[in-house]
Structure 1
């Protein structure tokens, strides 16, 4: 039987600390949340591997969905600079792991998932988290009714960030997303200052795409 607590410690030491994530609050959150509880039983032994972990298979035209690689998630959270009074929008939460981590860092987390089965799993897994609300809906639309937000985090790669999400950022808010595809993708931190959005690259990242974020295609003859 796998010693998940030991696997979690090893993950933090070999995947997180060595990749410049040194914020003690993030380390404590990763140590406290049992990722195996958010992974399907058949894949539970893969909970702490240095890779994305599938939580649903592709079917009926829907893509497979993943918990993104722990190192990428930790670096994104670190780049978001989440404060204890912040409100966070977590987009593409799948089974709820990322929201459970964020709940230990922020005052309020709104987690959006468009797959009803995954949303139900997230609600069940997060039932004891009093500061997390799981919303079922289109990922690209966010959750404007509960906003605006200090931080918006996208749990998968996107071709482009929709204007609808930028509109849900508070002044001084940060939106962290992996933009692009494959090895060419980069994690960008978008910031709203005086109503304008600026973006700066933080690190290269290759993670599975989120559905519904294709860039608009130009007209072709």
Structure 2
């Protein structure tokens, strides 16, 4: 059976993303234009527009479309923004960020996923996104970003992520411990890394970033 991906994409926007209160016109246009199926392995391409997390290897998954839409909307990207993404995965959200901002640096700890994402971005003609094979907890940069999008959960928001924000910058991340996880937007409000304001967005659950899971508590 031949799938009409354009029709499936339109249905995803109208039946999944909009009902989740994603109403930003630029975000909806980006999701409506970008072929999500081009970022999904052939074996799962029929599920590209399903309300599911799709496995991409190494125990990693592609986020649900509704979570991607809410993340993009919360970041409120402007065309001049410089963005850092932590967890490239399939490269789909990287592409969305690149559509909405000036440029994107994306970190992916698995070399093969990074290579595949680079190829997909190139195939879509997206030249303002750089994928770096690196672990976010070992990577360092003097660069500061207007927005950071984190594709995995953390127990506690790492200070190093906040340090990479410019004053006035914002960080989308999922924090907490299952089943009480929430997506938040961390606003950096000054030069001091502790000068932050946390805005609660919605409840959700994600797998932890490697190195960001809760430390096991042992009791006698």
Residue 164 (structure 1) aligns with: 160
CA shift at 1:81, angstroms?
1.2
CA deviations over 1:165-196 (Å, ceiling 9, x no partner) = 11100010001101124331100110111221
Residue 76 (structure 2) aligns with: 81
Would the aligned equivalents of 2:177 and 2:214 in 1 still touch at CA under 8 Å? Answer: no
User: Would you say 1:40 and 2:35 are equivalent positions?
Assistant: no
Q: What is the rounded CA distance, in whole Å, between the counterparts of 1:143 and 1:104 in structure 2?
A: 25
User: Would you say 1:131 and 2:128 are equivalent positions?
Assistant: yes
Q: What is the rounded CA distance, in whole Å, between the counterparts of 1:171 and 1:16 in structure 2?
A: 30
**Unaligned stretches of 5+ in structure 2?**
none
User: Would you say 1:206 and 2:205 are equivalent positions?
Assistant: yes
Residue 97 (structure 1) aligns with: 92
Would the aligned equivalents of 1:142 and 1:164 in 2 still touch at CA under 8 Å? Answer: no
Taking structure 1 as reference, are residues 139 and 23 closer, same or farther at Cα in structure 2, changes over 3 Å only? same
Residue 185 (structure 2) aligns with: 189
Residue 112 (structure 1) aligns with: 107
**Unaligned stretches of 5+ in structure 1?**
59-63
Q: What is the rounded CA distance, in whole Å, between the counterparts of 1:4 and 1:208 in structure 2?
A: 28
- For the residue of structure 1 that corresponds to 2:100, the secondary structure is coil
Taking structure 1 as reference, are residues 51 and 182 closer, same or farther at Cα in structure 2, changes over 3 Å only? farther
Taking structure 1 as reference, are residues 214 and 31 closer, same or farther at Cα in structure 2, changes over 3 Å only? same
RMSD over aligned Cα atoms: 1.8
Q: What is the rounded CA distance, in whole Å, between the counterparts of 2:43 and 2:33 in structure 1?
A: 22
Normalising by structure 2, we get a TM-score of 0.91
